Amino acid sequence: MNEPRNPSKSSAQSQARNQADTPANSPEGRTRGAISDESRHRMLRLVTKSFCREIVDYGVDVRDLLKVSGHVLEFASVQTERPPTAAIEAFRRFALNEVATDGATYRMGPTSLRPLAEDDLAHVVRWVARDDVQNSTLVPYPTHEDELRQHMASPTCSYHVIAHDGRPAGLIGAEDIDGHSRRAEMRKFIGEPDMRGRGLGTEATFLWLHHAFGKLGLHKVYIHTHHGNARNLKLNRSLGFEVEGVLSEEHRMGGSFVDIVRMGLLEGSWQELMGGPGSTDSLR
Ligand SMILES: CC(C)(COP(=O)(O)OP(=O)(O)OC[C@H]1O[C@@H](n2cnc3c(N)ncnc32)[C@H](O)[C@@H]1OP(=O)(O)O)[C@@H](O)C(=O)NCCC(=O)NCCS
């Protein structure tokens, strides 16, 4: 039996089941359908591209890809019925009434966000020294404490520390905040490797989006991610982000050029996913 990864997910399961019954012609249902139709094709193409690269790396000859496709069809045809796509799945796990905020800090179960403070910089310096953190962004974070302090203090940045049971684990925030178009790039990482893959990144992003659309008043949040960062793609997709495009060989990583996926989430889509305009006013 699948156990929920943490108590906050489990306590939201009943709402989850209720939301799973949302009729397709309700505003919520329509938004989910539109998001699926719009970006599913592009996402499938991306997944296929990564899959092809993986199996070639695994040692399968490129000329055998056609045979592989045949086997994929063969295995797919004997699959028993599976649950529908995981897109927007996170909304079935989280309940708005579990989010507590004083307008600056956000909490949901053991997961919390608080504005980055001077005392946190030592953690951030340690986290950004990691290759996997630096490789996750197009523009690397400064690695020296003074430069980081200066960067984070910029009016075009806004960062929160992600904590689990009070233990600082990572960072999430906005870069390049554009006050005119009310858009910003979301950047995030779990800097403590033992805290990854436990749902913290998803919960922190869910909390931070309340801040982004509620407190920062953004109209659009976008991200750039390496096409092979399956965890990050899945996470953002589960919170309603749509693929807006693939920037071919945009970024040099190690010795090679890699594709970058741009995903975006609009204020209107977020509000609809949260239950319509005004549903999150109490969290401002
Ligand atoms: C990307 C990152 C923030 C995700 O946070 P996290 O706490 O590890 O992610 P979660 O545990 O919430 O998992 C997110 C999804 O990825 C899935 N996932 C977990 N491990 C995975 C793996 N190895 N491969 C593919 N998917 C995986 C999870 O199942 C989850 O999907 P689900 O909610 O449907 O179950 C974190 O791994 C990280 O900091 N990575 C390095 C920096 C980075 O890539 N930042 C993003 C730049 S924008």
154 secondary structure, DSSP code: S
Give the pocket of ligand 1 (CB within 6 Å): 86, 89, 132-133, 136, 187-190, 196-202, 223, 225, 229-232, 234-235, 238
CA 228 to ligand 1 center in whole angstroms: 12
Strands (E) across 158-241 are located at 158-164, 167-178, 183-190, 220-226
Distance CA 239, CA 212 (A): 14
CA 25 to ligand 1 center in whole angstroms: 31
Prediction pTM value: 0.76
Residue 274 has pLDDT above 60, yes or no: yes
| 45's tokens | 């193409």
Residue 159 has pLDDT above 60, yes or no: yes
CA 200 to ligand 1 center in whole angstroms: 9
| 70's tokens | 């045949």
Mutate which of 231, 235, 258, 262 for ligand 1? The one with the most ligand atoms within 8 Å of its CB, which is 231
Q: Which residue has the higher pLDDT, 61 or 261?
A: 261
Fold for domain 7-283?
Answer: Aminopeptidase (3.40.630)
Nearest CA to ligand 1 atom 20: 197
Q: Is the dihedral of CA 29, 30, 31, 32 positive or negative?
A: positive
The chain-wide mean pLDDT, for the chain, equals 82
Picking from 271, 252, 268, 270, the residue whose alpha carbon sits closest to that of residue 260 is: 252
Can you give the residue ranges of every domain in the chain?
A: 7-283
Q: At what angle do helices 145-152 and 121-128 cross, to 10 degrees?
A: 110
| 182's tokens | 């009310």
122-146: average pLDDT = 95
pLDDT at 47: 77
Number of helices followed by number of strands (H, E) in the chain: 11, 9
Residue 32 has pLDDT above 60, yes or no: no
Half-sphere exposure of 100 (CA within 13 A, CB side): 7
50-64: average pLDDT = 81
